[in-house]
Amino acid sequence: MALNIGVIGVGYWGPNLVRNFTANQRTHVLGVSDLNPERLAFIAARFPGVEITEDYRDLINNPKIDAVAICTPVFTHFEIAKAALEAGKHVLVEKPMTSTSSQGEHLMDLATQKNLVLMVDHTFLFTGAVRKIKEIVDSGELGDLYYFDSTRVNLGLFQHDINVIWDLAPHDISIMEYLINARAEAVVTTGADHVGNGIEDVAYLTVYYPGNVIAHINVNWLSPVKIRQTLIGGTRRMVVWDDNSPSEKIKVYDKGIEVLQTKEKLYETLIQYRTGDMYCPKVPQLEALMMEVDHFADCIEKGEKCLSGGDLGLKVVRILEASEKSIKQRGKEIRLG
Amino acid sequence: MALNIGVIGVGYWGPNLVRNFTANQRTHVLGVSDLNPERLAFIAARFPGVEITEDYRDLINNPKIDAVAICTPVFTHFEIAKAALEAGKHVLVEKPMTSTSSQGEHLMDLATQKNLVLMVDHTFLFTGAVRKIKEIVDSGELGDLYYFDSTRVNLGLFQHDINVIWDLAPHDISIMEYLINARAEAVVTTGADHVGNGIEDVAYLTVYYPGNVIAHINVNWLSPVKIRQTLIGGTRRMVVWDDNSPSEKIKVYDKGIEVLQTKEKLYETLIQYRTGDMYCPKVPQLEALMMEVDHFADCIEKGEKCLSGGDLGLKVVRILEASEKSIKQRGKEIRLG
Amino acid sequence: MALNIGVIGVGYWGPNLVRNFTANQRTHVLGVSDLNPERLAFIAARFPGVEITEDYRDLINNPKIDAVAICTPVFTHFEIAKAALEAGKHVLVEKPMTSTSSQGEHLMDLATQKNLVLMVDHTFLFTGAVRKIKEIVDSGELGDLYYFDSTRVNLGLFQHDINVIWDLAPHDISIMEYLINARAEAVVTTGADHVGNGIEDVAYLTVYYPGNVIAHINVNWLSPVKIRQTLIGGTRRMVVWDDNSPSEKIKVYDKGIEVLQTKEKLYETLIQYRTGDMYCPKVPQLEALMMEVDHFADCIEKGEKCLSGGDLGLKVVRILEASEKSIKQRGKEIRLG
Amino acid sequence: MALNIGVIGVGYWGPNLVRNFTANQRTHVLGVSDLNPERLAFIAARFPGVEITEDYRDLINNPKIDAVAICTPVFTHFEIAKAALEAGKHVLVEKPMTSTSSQGEHLMDLATQKNLVLMVDHTFLFTGAVRKIKEIVDSGELGDLYYFDSTRVNLGLFQHDINVIWDLAPHDISIMEYLINARAEAVVTTGADHVGNGIEDVAYLTVYYPGNVIAHINVNWLSPVKIRQTLIGGTRRMVVWDDNSPSEKIKVYDKGIEVLQTKEKLYETLIQYRTGDMYCPKVPQLEALMMEVDHFADCIEKGEKCLSGGDLGLKVVRILEASEKSIKQRGKEIRLG
């Protein structure tokens, strides 16, 4: 029997979830809600049979519904997710999970207590590229990590309620947290607002990890070109991921340095270079959202550990929150828990 | 009559200056000095007739010499340049000018007082690409600047005495200071040392300018790929400069945003996008060092204002010095004078 | 009142036409036919209300139908298009129009005689890129044409009934004939079959035009990389069109040569180079098939001259036919009409 | 004891040979000749001690000289090389070896008879890239070859005495003949002359090899962009060589097709695709001319088999000669020996 899903919010992203939950054999979209009747009409025309309502509580209170997907503005996530969990529904919530980390902790506690799945829609974790990189990192092929350096810039859609950090950086932060097996220590974020409305359109995040591992994220709504590039340096190999490249997304370089201690000069280190072949692994062409929807069903039905669960979602929110504090104080270091 | 030049230090970079001062009709290399006799022998073999000495003071005290070029390690620049200026010689000093800003100020005062030329070898300012970008910025074509964002990474030569900031960032800082007609306010720099010798190999500099203009520089000795890319955003147009591209170094995009104030909702700003053609100006193929050597002669003989004089050199050192302080305190904001 | 359309053949390409004729306000898909009941069921499920039949004659004989689109294998085009025209229907036929030029001439005569629209689905002519290039060529900006040189290679879908010439080259030939305002004189085509079934998978076409204008087309089903690149050389400017590039499809170079006759040596020509800026015009993001469907309606309703009419379709078939003859005789020159 | 070399012709390329023969420990440049006294003065200034003469016969008749390098216009190669061989000198001759194949055969016979080295300066064979590709081809990694497809275009230096085939194609032909272990059967060449002086500036060569192996070379002096790209298709793997790429010159793709014979339909072939990883081997950064000069010394002193000997040079000339005949007859097939 299929899981019955309610989709709350069918503006820009919601319809994609409706489509994927519909296409999946294990899930069925029972109803959708939106404050805007036009959006509801749009869904009704394309997905006949789906119940529509302007009040999300109709979905949450519907005993036939097993789980809800929440695709509303960020500031509403907490209230809706909380209500849904309290009503005993599993939750898939749009990224970022909440506006504050205390909200996120509250949701986590609630989900644990109620034994419900709380998953965050960090879609990138379900792409063929990120899964391949995860595989490479976990295999130990790169050795120990040196750094993670990501650039995500283009002439982007300005958001009215959130700055470029909350808009674009959740992608990079979720990937970084997924790949780096350590607890982020501190955040330093700089940036600027060029419109004058207090909403930064350019931001540079530095995240410190233990062992001198450093991460950096460059996000920008005002770039004339679209760049989606991530460099990952390791002691043994290094990866360049260019998400714009249609056929050569991931390149693994057999390059690095070797640090030698010379006998004569005890205090001097000698650094040698090593360069070898590069290879470009075949990246499976997965439909990320289809994989994600399937994983959500697995988590509910089989109790699988959630790849992008509330714990990851909370880590992302903590870094976003710290970045927000830091950027408003010109890069003041904000320590994480 | 040609200017007589003494070149102090003929390790890696010095021979290039010897070659260019020799090729230029207006200058003549009279002598070179180096602590290493092998390097002197190397020069003697290639440039017969040039006097060689292990003691730079021989050049400084030689009354026939009009000017010296200093291509020694950074920590020796101040002592040598000071001695040269005191001896009445014009000075061209390798970048960065000095190790501290107070040293730089001292040299500036000395040069002014003695009415001597003090020039810093920021070679990039003499390339066709930077001159073309300067022309574009000064023409007003870009409108007001939003940001300057530069990436200079590769599997680089680790330095033993200076970190990646002092090694690579002087290029970007000198270009940035040359292009941005404003006084930098503060610096926030993060980074990491992966060898464990206290010398950072990865660094991220943010420089705040008045009017929300922001600059960012990403330098890295541990990148598997070589990237030399600078994005410059303006209110009217935007530039992408890819110095690795042999034929399309500079691209000027007719792209931007327009901020409208809506009548009804006074506090809401409406942001619209604009995208048009891109063009790629022909960049003159200048030999930068040849241009620079010629400019040095102009400054001495015709009293021309120095494009990369001690004032620019000092601004660069101030930002490097602030970056050094900042990186050691995890991105603490360091205000500039 | 909308034009009633019948779509014959709904395998790979046909459904795209069904979708576009359905989306267009001026056209209505009344029925579709296909020999394969599964394909008909596929259409019936997606486009409820459309009549389905296994016999295309049902569509041709249906008096309510104004026009048919033919998306069947090439060798069937003639028979079906002929029957449709004889039944008084306007025709949009998949490229290439027919298997032979005499078939094409027959259809042309029939369409003229019956005063019906005969259009060939050379979709590329309706893309933003080709329209922009056409505009540039027609404006005289390039001067006189020197050459047209196109490469269209990838690890392609091997066809069972036609070789790589009939499969891929119609795109390039239709674009070339659209852009070059002259009558092709002769064809020389070389190539090879590596499977051993007589179906060439690699081919190189040269087409001679008057005035030393030369065109070359490189098509290949066995390339490890996908290349879609066209160079167009002119006396004043030159164009490079890279259809794979998402944002910089067309580049116009202000480059060329100048031929001077020297006074002293009357018989010697002196050739000088000229290089200037490059620009990259904004290419409108048109949905080509939507534009084409709309143009088909215009041709029928307003009697507009067809951009990709039977005359162009016939020129393409003549060149394909000549290429086929040439390739089988190792590049023997085949003169065109 | 070093081999004494005479260099005949020091216009554009000759000085590079003088420099490399001088730098090599095993060779010594004793004298150079040129018809132009200015070029001789140029050499005399840079290479003091080298004897200069306007008459190449002074070098050929000099008993101290062991070998000559001939860097004069193509039409003079035969006369000079013949005289040199007759005088008992080993010969390194600029590419292409001669203007006609009968001249080439004559030189080959003479060298064999006199037991002298006759080498052609096909420099590309000594680059790291070509040596790596040769290694890959010879290892059997690519399987059987399907095709060799090379593009060498740019806004090039127009030659006064030879067309674009004789100017650019010798590079590709020598590489192709070096890699393909078979005897070329026939040539079809098309092209055009846009200046009107009978010297083609655009040309397309097809070379047929046994077993349906096909080669194609696209050379063009009138291209706005510089392309140096070669695709090599094999049954098991495929290579793309981009000589413009500074760091990823060679890419080896694990891609191909598999041809299956289906049992049921005996006459139908089923073709399946295979795509896997790509890798980019490290290419040794060799100074090609230095390697070549060293190889020349090895051939003379150790009697090593010449990598680019008269036999290869003759094969190249035969293909050039056939191309010339073919292009003048609009792609008439010219059979080779």
Q: Are the C-beta atoms of residues C95 and C172 closer than 8 Å to each other?
A: no
Q: What is the dihedral of CA A94, A95, A99, A102, to 10 degrees?
A: 100
Tokens of B110: 């000395």
Mean of pLDDT over chain B: 94
Q: What is the mean pLDDT of residues D93-121?
A: 97
| Angle in degrees, 0-180, between the axes of helices B37-46 and B14-23, rounded to the nearest 10 | 20
* Among chain C residues, CA nearest to A246: C244
Structural Rg of chain C based on CA atoms: 22
Name residues whose C-beta falls within 8 Å of residue C173's C-beta, 6 or more positions apart in sequence.
Answer: C205, C207, C217, C315, C316, C319, C320
Instruction: Give CA–CA dist C126/C117, Å, rounded.
Output: 17
Torsion of CA C286, C289, C291, C296, to 10 degrees: 170
Mean pLDDT across A53-63: 97
> Residue D197 — very low, low, confident or very high, per pLDDT cuts 50/70/90?
confident
- Nearest CA distance, A19 vs chain B (angstrom): 30
For residues D267 and C9, the model is more confident at: C9
Q: What Cα–Cα distance (Å) separates residue C192 from each residue in C187, D214, D257?
A: 17, 7, 15
pLDDT of residue B1: 77
Is the Cβ of C192 closer than 8 Å to some Cβ of chain D? yes
Amino acid at D277: D
Query: Read out DSSP for D157-223?
Result: ---SSS-HHHHHHHHHHHHHHHH--S---EEEEEEE-SSSSS--SEEEEEEE-GGG-EEEEEEESEE
Query: What pLDDT does C272 receive?
Result: 80
B226 in reach of chain D (CB within 8 A): yes
Q: How far apart are CA A147 and CA A133, in angstroms?
A: 14
pLDDT digits (tens, 9 = 90+) for A214-258: 999 999 999 999 999 999 999 999 999 999 999 999 999 999 988
- Bridge partners for A309 per DSSP: A119
A244 vs C contacts (CB less than 8 Å): 246
> What is the side-by-side strand order in the sheet with D90-94?
D51-53, D27-33, D3-8, D67-70, D90-94, D118-121
Residues of chain D in contact with residue C190, where contact means CB-CB under 8 angstroms, are 188, 206, 208, 214, 216, 331
Pairwise CA distance, residues C136 & C144, whole Å: 12
Confidence check: pLDDT of A81 > 80: yes
Residues of B in contact with D225 (CB under 8 A): 247
Q: Scan for tokens 């080779």, then name that residue.
A: D336
Using the beta-carbon criterion (under 8 Å), do C273 and D155 form an inter-chain contact? yes
Query: Which of A117-126, B280-289, D23-32 shows the lowest mean pLDDT across its residues?
Result: B280-289
- Percent pLDDT > 70 in chain D is 97
> Are D90 and D67 a contacting pair, CB within 8 Å?
yes
CB–CB contact B246 D247 (8 Å): no
Q: What are the residue ranges spanned by the domains of chain A? A: 3-116, 125-286+318-335
Q: What is the pLDDT of residue C276?
A: 94
Find out whether the peptide bond into D224 is cis, omega within 30 degrees of 0. no
D149 touching C, CB under 8 A? yes
Of the pLDDT bands very low, low, confident and very high (cuts 50, 70, 90), residue D262 is low
Write out the two tokens for D200. 């083609």
Measure the CA–CA gap between A158 and A154, rounded to whole angstroms: 11
Q: Which residues of A touch B151 (CB under 8 A)?
A: 151
The pLDDT-based confidence of D1 (bands split at 50, 70, 90) is: confident
The pLDDT of residue A267: 53
Q: For B1-14, what is the mean pLDDT?
A: 94
The Cα–Cα gap between A230 and A136 comes to 15
Residue C263: pLDDT band with limits 50, 70, 90: low
pLDDT at D63: 97
Please tell me the class of the A3-116 domain: alpha beta
Task: Please give the backbone phi and psi of residue D38, each rounded to the nearest 5 degrees, phi first.
Answer: -65, -40
pLDDT category at B237 given cuts 50, 70, 90 is very high
pLDDT (average), residues B79-83 = 98
Mean pLDDT of C142-149: 97
Mention every residue, 6+ apart, whose C-beta is less than 8 A from residue C222. Answer: C155, C156, C194, C201, C202, D146, D147, D233, D238, D257
**Interface contact B212-A223, CB threshold 8 A:** no
- Determine, for residues D238 and C255 on separate chains, whether the beta-carbon distance falls below 8 Å: no
For chain D, what is the radius of gyration of the CA atoms? 22
For residue C223, give the nearest of C319, C162, C158, C147 by alpha carbon. C158
* pLDDT score of D111: 98
- Mutation target for A interface from D250, D251, D279: give the one with most A CBs within 10 A: D279
Dihedral angle of Cα C47, C49, C50, C54, to the nearest 10 degrees: 110
State the nearest Cα–Cα gap between C255 and chain B, in angstroms. 11
Show the tokens assigned to A81.
Answer: 């997710």
**pLDDT tens-digit map of A19-42:** 999 999 999 999 999 999 999 999
Cα dist. C185→B270, C208, D218, D262, D327 in Å? 58, 5, 21, 43, 16
B263 confidence band (pLDDT: 50, 70, 90)? low
Sign of CA dihedral B226, B232, B233, B239: negative
The span from the CA of B325 to the CA of B203, in Å, is 13
- Of the pLDDT bands very low, low, confident and very high (cuts 50, 70, 90), residue A259 is confident
Say if residue C257's pLDDT is above 80.
yes
Compute the nearest-CA separation of B282 from chain C (Å): 5
Residues of C in contact with A225 (CB under 8 A): 247
Q: Which tokens in the block code for residue B44?
A: 């003697």
Contacts of A282 in chain D (CB under 8 A): 275-277
Is some CB atom of chain C closer than 8 A to the CB atom of A244? Answer: yes
**B264: pLDDT confidence band, cut at 50, 70 and 90?**
low
Establish if B334 touches chain A: CB-CB under 8 angstroms: no
What dihedral do alpha carbons D35, D41, D43, D46 form, nearest 10°? Answer: 180
Share of chain C above pLDDT 90, in %: 88
- Residue A197 touches partner C, C-beta closer than 8 Å: no
Rounded Cα distance between A198 and D16, Å, is: 62
pLDDT value, residue D203: 98
- Reported pTM: 0.94
Task: State yes or no: cis peptide before D246, omega within 30 of 0.
Answer: no
Q: What are D217's strand-pairing partners?
A: D150, D205
Q: Is the pLDDT of residue D266 over 60?
A: no
Determine which of C136, C250, C280, C285 to mutate to test the interface with B (most B C-beta atoms within 10 Å).
C280
- Whether D246 and B244 lie within 8 Å, measured CB to CB: yes
CA–CA distance, A85 with A101 (Å, rounded to integer): 17
* D153 vs C contacts (CB less than 8 Å): 231
The answer to whether D216 contacts C190, with C-beta atoms less than 8 Å apart, is: yes
D244 at B interface, C-beta within 8 A? yes
Sequence-separated (6 or more) residues with CB below 8 Å from residue B229: B150, B151, B240, B241, B242, B243, B244
Q: How far is CA D317 from CA B41, B152, B188, D108, D305, in A?
A: 48, 47, 65, 12, 20
Mean pLDDT estimate for chain A: 94
Pairing of strands B67-70, B90-94: parallel
- Measured between beta carbons, which residues in chain A are less than 8 angstroms from residue D277? 279-282
pLDDT bin (cut points 50, 70, 90) of residue B321 is very high
Q: What is the pLDDT of residue A112?
A: 97
Residue of A nearest to C224 (CA): A247
* CATH of segment(s) A125-286+318-335: 3.30.360.10
Residue D267 above 60 pLDDT?
no
Taking CA atoms, D215 is separated from A34, C204, D79, D319, in Å, by 62, 10, 32, 12
Rounded to a whole number of angstroms, the distance from the CA of B238 to the nearest CA of chain C is: 14
Q: What is the pLDDT of residue B126?
A: 97
Tokens representing D227 are 């392309």
Quick check: D334 and D187 in contact, CB under 8 A?
yes
The pLDDT of residue A89 is above 70: yes
Contact partners, residue B69, CB within 8 Å, separation at least 6: B5, B6, B7, B8, B14, B17, B21, B91, B92, B93, B94, B121
Q: Do the Cβ atoms of A146 and B222 come within 8 Å?
A: yes
Residue type, C14: G
Distance from CA of B255 to the nearest CA of A (A): 6
pLDDT the model gives residue D160: 76
For D287, list phi and psi in degrees, rounded to 5.
-85, 105
Can you give the pLDDT at residue C267? 53
Helix (H, G, I), strand (E, B) or coil at D285: coil
A70, A90 contact by CB (below 8 A): no
The pLDDT of residue A75 is: 95
Going by C-alpha positions, the residue among C275, C234, C228 that lies closest to residue D226 is C275
Asked whether residue B270 carries a pLDDT value surpassing 90, the answer given is no
Q: What value, to the nearest 5°, has the Cα angle with vertex C126 and ends C123 and C129?
A: 110
Q: Could you tell me if C308 and C119 are in contact, meaning their C-beta atoms sit under 8 angstroms apart?
A: yes
pLDDT, tens digit, 9 for 90 and up, residues C37-64: 999 999 999 898 999 999 999 999 999 9
Whether C226 and chain A come into contact, CB under 8 Å, resolves to yes
| Alpha carbon distance B319, C214 (integer Å) | 58
Distance from CA of B281 to the nearest CA of D (A): 14
Nearest to A70 by CA among A4, A26, A10, A159: A10
Under a CB-based contact definition with an 8 Å cutoff, are residues B181 and B139 in contact?
Answer: no
Of B277, B281, B282, the CB nearest to C280: B277
The answer to whether residues B293 and B27 touch, using CB atoms and an 8 Å cutoff, is: yes
CA torsion sign for D192, D194, D200, D205 is negative
Q: Looking at this protein, which amino acid is placed at residue C280?
A: C
Q: Which of residues 270-329 of B touch D (CB under 8 A)?
A: none
Give which of B247, B248, B280, B282 to mutate to test D binding, by max D Cβ within 10 Å.
B247
**Residue B135 corresponds to which tokens in the numbers above?**
């022309």
Residues of chain C neighbouring D215 (CB-CB closer than 8 A): none
In a mutagenesis test of the C interface, which of B280, B283, B285 is the best target, namely the one with the most C β-carbons within 10 Å?
Answer: B280
Question: How many percent of chain A have pLDDT more than 90?
Answer: 88
pLDDT digits (tens, 9 = 90+) for C288-322: 999 999 999 999 999 999 999 999 999 999 999 99
Which of A275, A276, A280 lies closest to D278 in CB terms? Answer: A280
Q: How far is A247 from chain B (nearest CA, A)?
A: 18
Identify the residue among A136, A278, A285 best suited for mutation to test binding to D, counting D beta carbons within 10 A and taking the highest.
A278
- Please count the residue pairs, one from chain B and one from chain C, whose beta carbons lie less than 8 angstroms apart: 24
The Cα C82–Cα C88 span in angstroms is 10
The CA–CA distances, whole Å, from D227 to B247, C225, D151, D158 equal 12, 16, 6, 17
List all chains that touch chain B, counting a touch as 3 or more CB pairs closer than 8 Å.
Answer: A, C, D
Query: Which residue among B160, B214, B224 sits closest to A253, beta carbon to beta carbon?
Result: B224
Which pLDDT band, with edges at 50, 70 and 90, does A300 fall under?
very high
Domain C125-285+318-335 annotated CATH 3.30.360.10: yes
Per residue in B276-302, pLDDT (tens digit) is 999 999 998 878 999 999 999 999 999
